[in-house]
């Protein structure tokens, strides 16, 4: 069955450092991979999309990589700030599909 794994342990990081999160998947061939941010009591907010034929995508302090051979995506927050503290979810999407398949999320806590 399809499986998407994110580190379930919270990531504690010092302000200014780079946070790196992983998303691994099995039994799935996504055309797209998205990352969302979710704050407590709120719905997920879209951050970035990367396509299967793209290696890397950047947006401001965020960087996402996508390795379809390893079946893995890495999500980096550079120069992290306390306001970056949230849960980050990866989500996979097939080319002809519409529904998102989410990982369990990784909670990030940036300490000042």
Partner 1 sequence: GAGVSQSPRYKVAKRGQDVALRCDPISGHVSLFWYQQALGQGPEFLTYFQNEAQLDKSGLPSDRFFAERPEGSVSTLKIQRTQQEDSAVYLCASSSRTSGATRAQYFGPGTRLLVL
DSSP 8-state assignment for residue 13: E
Identity of the residue, 15 or 91, whose beta carbon is nearer to partner 1 in the bound complex: 91
Q: Which is nearer to partner 1, 89 or 108 (CB)?
A: 89
- DSSP letter for each residue of 39-96: -TTS--EEEEEEETT-SEEEETTEEEEEETTTTEEEEEESS--GGG-EEEEEEEE-TT
Binding mask 51-70 for partner 1 (x = CB under 8 A): --------------------
Rule CB under 8 A: which of 20-49 touch partner 1? Answer: 32, 34, 41-46, 49
Measured from the CB atom, the residue of 9 and 83 that comes closer to partner 1 is: 9
Q: Which of residues 70-89 bind partner 1 (CB under 8 A)?
A: 89
* Residue position matching structure tokens 């998407």: 4
Least separation in angstroms between residue 59's CB and partner 1 is 10
Q: What does the alpha-carbon distance between residue 110 and residue 84 come to, in Å, rounded to a whole number?
A: 7
**What whole-number distance in Å separates Cα of residue 59 and Cα of residue 40?**
23
Q: Is 7 in the site for partner 1 (CB under 8 A)?
A: no
């Amino acid at each position: 069955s399809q499986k998407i794994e994110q580190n379930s342990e919270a990531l504690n990081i010092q302000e200014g450092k780079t946070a790196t999160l992983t998303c691994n998947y099995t039994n799935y061939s996504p055309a797209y991979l998205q990352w969302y941010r979710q704050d407590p009591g709120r719905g997920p907010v879209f951050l970035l999309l990367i396509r299967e034929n793209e290696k890397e995508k950047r947006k401001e302090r965020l960087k996402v990589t996508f390795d379809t051979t390893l079946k893995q995506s890495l999500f980096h927050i550079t120069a992290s700030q306390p306001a970056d503290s949230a849960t980050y979810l990866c989500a996979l999407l097939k080319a002809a599909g519409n529904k998102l398949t989410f990982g369990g999320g990784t909670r990030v806590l940036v300490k000042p």
